Structure 1
Amino acid sequence: MKKPEAYTLSIGVLAVVDTWLTGTVFPVPVWVTFIAWASFFVLGGGQAGFVKSVASNLTGLVIASLTLLCITTMSAGAIGVAVLVGIGSAAMVQASKIKLLDVLPAIVWGFASTVGTTVATGKAITTVGISNPALVAAAALVTGAAFGFVSELLGEALAFKREHRLS
């Protein structure tokens, strides 16, 4: 099978598994797993892409969590929230100066996934336990990277390899 078709089959089947899994057994936002899955491929795939994607996404998650924590503990109004988000954004840019984290959008995807999970779950960042939105987003981000890794392995395994014969 040609590579595009192999990846089509691999990603299509695993998207079914991911959607079923997150909708039944492992209740994390499927859209966050898909963001992390895409991040894996954008960062080059393979073991290096997996490590870089998880590190970048989780760095964004940490920065978002700290930003949300500051917003929760301060009552500064809309301008204060805007300033805190600006500080968080500046922190993401500074973090991207580290070689492992040098693809800024991957950090931003982690930040946005965390904020989105907080809004979608209706849980505050200060929530204690496994329903804490940062923990939920972290689980989804790592799961998405894992789906990326597996879909790449499966896609490569399904791809037709031509043998060169000497006659």
Structure 2
Amino acid sequence: MKKSEAFTVSIGVLAVVDTYITATLFPVPVWVTFIAWASFFVVGGGSAGFVQSVASNLTGLVIASLSLLAIASSSETPAIAAICVGIGSAAMVQASKLKLLNVLPAVVWGFASTVGTTVATGHAITTVGIHNPALVAAAALITGALFGIVSEVLGDALTRKPEPQLN
């Protein structure tokens, strides 16, 4: 099978699995798993891409969590929230100077996924326990990266290899 068709099958089938698992057995936001899955491919895929994607996404998650904690510990006015997000945004750009984190969008996706999970779950960043949105987002980000690597391996396995030329 051609590479594009192989990846169509691989990603399509695994998207069904991801959506089913996150809707039943492992209740994390499926959209966060898809963001992390895309991040895996954007940073280049493979084992190095897996490490870089997870590191970048989780760096964004940490920066978002610190920004949300700063907002929660303040007067929570729109101006203070905006300043905290601005500082967090600047921190993401600085973090992307590191080679492992040099794909800035992957860092931003971790930040946005964390803020989005906080809003979607209705749980504050200060929530203690497994419902803490940072923990939920981290689980979803790592799960998405795992789906990325599995879809790549499966897609490669389904790809028709050229026949060796006989001389």
Q: Same fold (TM over 0.5)?
A: yes
TM range (shorter): over 0.9
Gaps of 5+ in 2: none
Aligned partners of 1:23 and 1:94: how far apart in 2?
Answer: 36
Q: Which amino acid aligns with 1:138?
A: A
Superposed, which structure 2 residues align to 1:51-90 within 5 Å? Answer: 51-90=51-90
Q: CA deviation at 1:166?
A: 1.8
Identity of paired residues, percent? 77
Secondary structure of the residue aligned to 1:13 is helix
Q: Does 1:155 align with 2:155?
A: yes
Superposed, which structure 2 residues align to 1:1-167 within 5 Å? Answer: 1-167=1-167
Q: Which amino acid aligns with 2:25?
A: V
Q: Which amino acid aligns with 1:141?
A: L
- Point out 4+ residue stretches in structure 1 off by more than 6 angstroms: none
CA RMSD of aligned residues (A): 0.6
Secondary structure of the residue aligned to 1:160 is coil
Secondary structure of the residue aligned to 1:131 is coil
Secondary structure of the residue aligned to 2:65 is helix
TM-score of the aligned structures, taking structure 1 as reference length? 0.99
Gaps of 5+ in 1: none
Aligned partners of 2:80 and 2:128: how far apart in 1?
Answer: 25
1:39-58, CA deviations, whole angstroms, 9 ceiling, x for partnerless residues?
00000000000000000000
1:134-164, CA deviations, whole angstroms, 9 ceiling, x for partnerless residues?
0000000000000000000000000000122
Secondary structure of the residue aligned to 1:144 is helix
Aligned partners of 1:37 and 1:69: how far apart in 2?
Answer: 27
Instruction: Tell me the number of residue pairs that the alignment of Structure 1 and Structure 2 aligns.
Output: 167
